[in-house]
Amino acid sequence: MIRSLTVMVFAIVLAGCADSRVNPCSVLDISEVQVLESSVSTSRWLPPGRGENELCMYLDATDERQVMLFMWSAGAHDPLKNVTEGMKGENSEVVDVWDVGLRAAAGFHDAELKLFSARSNDRMVGLRVRKAVAEDSADFEVVKSLVRKALGRLE
């Protein structure tokens, strides 16, 4: 009896400590990303780095990065701070975006989107795009839609 109880407690503790990472490449399908960048043909999950928990690169047929999806676990992550830190140099502008997640920000360089980041209760995601995307364009709305989908699927 005690042995089976010990085994059950161990199994519960082990399940609670199990790796809860999510493959970011499973959060947004290639077909969804292709709405923004039609040249995307494959995705690659990369190990965590530089503070983000997970990273998925969406690549074209020549293995060039076109779109990158970053994911962070909950915590003190602030999209505005994240985007501001990611934007270097002159002609960079960071703006608040009010209709995505609990808080969102977009970073533009020479009026082209470089980084978009948004936060929900549990996660923060970022999208970096190679394509020239203006703030008032249809593609910017696609970026916002992709980030909304990613946040929604992670909750």
- For the chain, the straight-line distance linking the first and the last C-alpha, in angstroms and rounded, comes to 38
pLDDT at 53: 74
pTM of the model: 0.82
Q: With a cut of 50, list the residues of the chain below it in pLDDT.
A: 1, 3-19
pLDDT tens digits for 73-95? Answer: 766 689 999 999 988 888 999 99
Category of 16 on φ-ψ map: left (φ > 0), alpha (ψ -120 to 50) or beta:
alpha
Answer CATH for 23-154 from 3.20.20.60, 3.40.50.300, 3.20.20.70, 3.40.1000.10:
3.40.1000.10
pLDDT at 59: 97
pLDDT at 75: 67
Contact 127, 32 (CB under 8 A): no
pLDDT tens digits for 93-109? Answer: 999 999 999 999 999 99
Rounded to 5°, angle at Cα 151 from 75 and 80: 55
